[in-house]
Chain A
Amino acid sequence: MTRLSAITGMAFLLGLATGPAAAAEPTEIKLGYLQRAEHQATLSLIATPAKDDGIAGAKLAIEDNNTTGRFTGQHFSLEVIRVKSDADAASAIATLIDHGVRMVVADLPAPALIAGADALRGQDALIFNAGATDDRLRQEDCRANMIHTAPTRSMLADALSQYLVWKQWRRWFLVVGSHDNDKLYAEALRRAAARFGAKIVQEKVFEDTGGARRTDSGVALIQRQIPVFTQGIQSYDVLVAADESEVFAAYLPYRTWDARPVAGSAGLEPTSWDPSHDQWGAVQLQNRFIRDFSRTMSPRDMQAWTAVRMVGEGTTHVPAADARGLLNFFKSPDFALAAFKGRPLTLRDWDLQLRQPILLADGRMVVSVSPQEGFLHQFSELDTLGIDRPETKCHLQ
């Protein structure tokens, strides 16, 4: 920390380190939340996202920020707008700006997110991507006003691969869905395999031939279909499935021809958060969430919580109106967010992606947390996950 910033920081702290709740009117800090209109239908009944998925996480962080705000003389609020299309995103942004919002948390598909970020340009404002995992949003399509709390496909694939390699399950049978998102996930998995020393011994595509996802007695058919589909494969250790479109992966565990574990879109899944995560004080957050929302906390909830807490942390050190000042703070070595993952989360200054450990969960327990021990990095082990500085195609503007 430079001397000048140390003195300024101290002065600000002195200002904060006075009496109890400030007698004067608290500073209002308004946040916006752009909610996606639809969620992907899931094969598993219990995987269906809640109606307020993501929003609840943001609301909990608003509450946490306001507890601190009692002492710092700040008050945080959240305005939620549902966005159905890219055009919708731009007009939602305009509405938020009109209402005095300068910090926007968004859970939107990539095209709508980009429309939102572009609509925010020129305003002294920031948008936090708390939902989209597309690597291109941190590469060719990166924006100087867009921070990412959601992990990338590459981070998720790398996290999984490190564990599989650590386990010495190096021979993979890769099954890919037929939609674009599935192919993007497969690409990330192939990159991760090459990076960490796994070998994809065979690949197969699972075509989406349409038809109802859930039928009354469909399970009898699936029991026959999956073994046949996975029969006669080259010797492999683990079946890695790329099925973001929720067409087949959930049907794989315990039905494969060979008795093999499943990973990727089913079985052992990489994720930013899991309701069963109980390490590093996480129980406190899980309990607060369940108490407030009568359901468990999802990855989207956690990604939104993280974004709103970043604003809370930032505005404790830098006045709220100054988005540029906030961004500089986030990129500085003084910024470290505690997010119940055992180590501080910091921001990559080359693409504004939040560094974070990734959980590997089986739907009931957290099996491991990546990065795995032994994967070294010159600067931060968290940078063994995802696109690293020398590889980036991002030119922030």
Chain B
Amino acid sequence: MRQGLLLAMGLCLASMTPAEAFTAYVSNEKGNTISVIDTGSFQVIKTIKVGQRPRGIELTKDGKFVMVAVGDDDTIEMVDTKTNDVVGTLPSGADPELFTQDPTGKILYVANENDNTVTIIDIDKRLQLGDVQVGVEPEGMGISPDGKILVNTSETTNMAHFIDTATHKIVANVLVDSRPRFAAFKRDGSELWVSAEVGGTVSIIDPVKHQVKTKISFEIPGLRREAIQPVGINITADDKTAFVALGPANRVAVIDAVTHEVRKYLLVGQRVWHMAFTPDEKYLLTTNGVSNDVSVIDVANLKVIKTIQVGELPWGVTISQQ
């Protein structure tokens, strides 16, 4: 009997071994903090005070720093991931909102929302290398897998600008639907996805021909078309499944990234904008700005399994690679 009990306990413990634990950093736009979440326990383990209006947030590729754009302070702060202290800043230009790194993690491209500019920074040297004039209210930043093209979207100009990263010149502009917010390339570089918040669609663009191939629309029973406002886009590494945050529709759309058909809608918190995968793509964390929480999606089973309370008006999320 005792042996059976021990065996049962052993089996229980084995199946309960948690997935590898990673660390998620969530920027809280109104709270001026970063909530640090342990993805093993799904608990907030620390709250870091940062500058004013933190939005874009990303870890350096070596995992040593969290970069967070504090727009009202006109800078990007660097948080040391070991000590959780703000240890430096990057010369981001005024009012930085979103940014992205090149594949090597050496160059940072920043959207300066108030100035209609994209600022280019050397991360190690913490030096500004140049800038590009783009459309009105730049936000979305997507870098091609080969690092040669940076795509920036302008909210009021309704365009995706293709910028050659070697020459810093715009080589193409593609018109998308109203108020584009986010741009993401597929890992194989075959498609660029751009969300239009007010237009309510996601445009799938051929990045070579610079043409819109198709558009994805969303339909949720009982919800007005106008309430469906796509923002963040996250595509799995195998380019087969895409997740799109639908803002005040309070749902994340799950899309077959090959056929571009919507498979499912997952109900999360209020005003879901940005998301991040854990490195093993087991979980997808979403930031729900108006309900001040983060939802955890079990990617394999397409189920929302947990909600974690964070700071005020959570905006972006980035997850460590180890």
Residues in chain A within 8 A of chain B (CB atoms): 10, 13-14, 16-20, 64, 67-68, 70-72, 281, 284, 287-288, 309, 313, 316, 336-338, 342-344, 380-381
Q: Determine which of A17, A19, A72, A344 lies in contact with B199 in the assembled complex, contact meaning CB atoms within 8 Å.
A: A344
The digit string for B103-134, where 1 denotes a CB below 8 A from any CB of A, is: 00000000001101000000000000000010
Extra contacts, 9 of them, besides A67-B116, A338-B158 (Cβ < 8 A), are: A17-B172, A72-B175, A281-B155, A316-B175, A338-B156, A343-B198, A344-B198, A344-B199, A344-B226
Does the CB pair A16–B114 fall under 8 Å? no
Instruction: Determine the distance from Cα of A70 to Cα of B133 in the docked complex, in whole angstroms.
Output: 10
For this complex, 7 residue pairs linking A to B, each with C-beta atoms less than 8 Å apart, are: A13-B174, A13-B211, A17-B172, A18-B173, A20-B170, A72-B173, A338-B158
Does the CB pair B158–A316 fall under 8 Å? yes
Residue of B nearest to A288 (CB): B114
Instruction: Determine the distance from Cα of A184 to Cα of B116 in the docked complex, in whole angstroms.
Output: 44
Q: Determine which of B114, B155, B156, B178 lies in contact with A336 in the assembled complex, contact meaning CB atoms within 8 Å.
A: B178
Does the CB pair B174–A17 fall under 8 Å? yes
The digit string for B194-209, where 1 denotes a CB below 8 A from any CB of A, is: 0001111000000000
Does the CB pair B210–A17 fall under 8 Å? yes
A290 to chain B, nearest CB (A): 11
Residue of A nearest to B156 (CB): A64
Q: Determine which of A17, A343, A381 lies in contact with B173 in the assembled complex, contact meaning CB atoms within 8 Å.
A: A17
Instruction: Determine the distance from Cα of A218 to Cα of B156 in the docked complex, in whole angstroms.
Output: 48
B45 to chain A, nearest CB (A): 32
B255 to chain A, nearest CB (A): 21
B14 to chain A, nearest CB (A): 49
B interface size (C-beta, 8 A): 35
A164 to chain B, nearest CB (A): 24
Instruction: Determine the distance from Cα of A357 to Cα of B303 in the docked complex, in whole angstroms.
Output: 35
Residue of B nearest to A12 (CB): B175
Instruction: Determine the distance from Cα of A16 to Cα of B176 in the docked complex, in whole angstroms.
Output: 11
Does the CB pair A20–B171 fall under 8 Å? yes
Instruction: Determine the distance from Cα of A338 to Cα of B293 in the docked complex, in whole angstroms.
Output: 27
Does the CB pair A338–B210 fall under 8 Å? no
Instruction: Determine the distance from Cα of A287 to Cα of B248 in the docked complex, in whole angstroms.
Output: 25
Instruction: Determine the distance from Cα of A381 to Cα of B170 in the docked complex, in whole angstroms.
Output: 40
Q: Determine which of A16, A20, A70, A72 lies in contact with B169 in the assembled complex, contact meaning CB atoms within 8 Å.
A: A20
Assess whether B212 is interfacial by the CB under 8 Å rule. yes
Residue of B nearest to A339 (CB): B198
Q: Known contacts A13-B175, A67-B135; is A338 also within 8 Å of B157 by CB?
A: no
Assess whether B179 is interfacial by the CB under 8 Å rule. yes
Does the CB pair B175–A281 fall under 8 Å? no
Residue of A nearest to B212 (CB): A13
Chain A residues, Cβ within 8 Å of B136: 64, 67-68
Does the CB pair A14–B173 fall under 8 Å? no
Q: Known contacts A13-B212, A14-B211, A344-B226; is A71 also within 8 Å of B199 by CB?
A: no
Assess whether B161 is interfacial by the CB under 8 Å rule. yes
Assess whether B159 is interfacial by the CB under 8 Å rule. yes
Does the CB pair B178–A344 fall under 8 Å? yes
Which of A13, A337, A344 is the most central at the interface, judged by chain B CB atoms within 10 Å of its CB? A344
A306 to chain B, nearest CB (A): 12
Chain A residues, Cβ within 8 Å of B102: none
Residue of A nearest to B139 (CB): A281
Chain B residues, Cβ within 8 Å of A10: 211-212
Assess whether B191 is interfacial by the CB under 8 Å rule. no
Q: Determine which of A18, A20, A338 lies in contact with B178 in the assembled complex, contact meaning CB atoms within 8 Å.
A: A338
Does the CB pair B211–A71 fall under 8 Å? no
Does the CB pair B198–A284 fall under 8 Å? no
Assess whether B312 is interfacial by the CB under 8 Å rule. no
Chain B residues, Cβ within 8 Å of A337: 178, 198
Chain A residues, Cβ within 8 Å of B157: 64, 67-68, 71
Chain B residues, Cβ within 8 Å of A380: 224, 226
Residue of B nearest to A342 (CB): B248
Assess whether B58 is interfacial by the CB under 8 Å rule. no
Instruction: Determine the distance from Cα of A204 to Cα of B114 in the docked complex, in whole angstroms.
Output: 49
Does the CB pair B135–A71 fall under 8 Å? yes
Does the CB pair A336–B211 fall under 8 Å? no
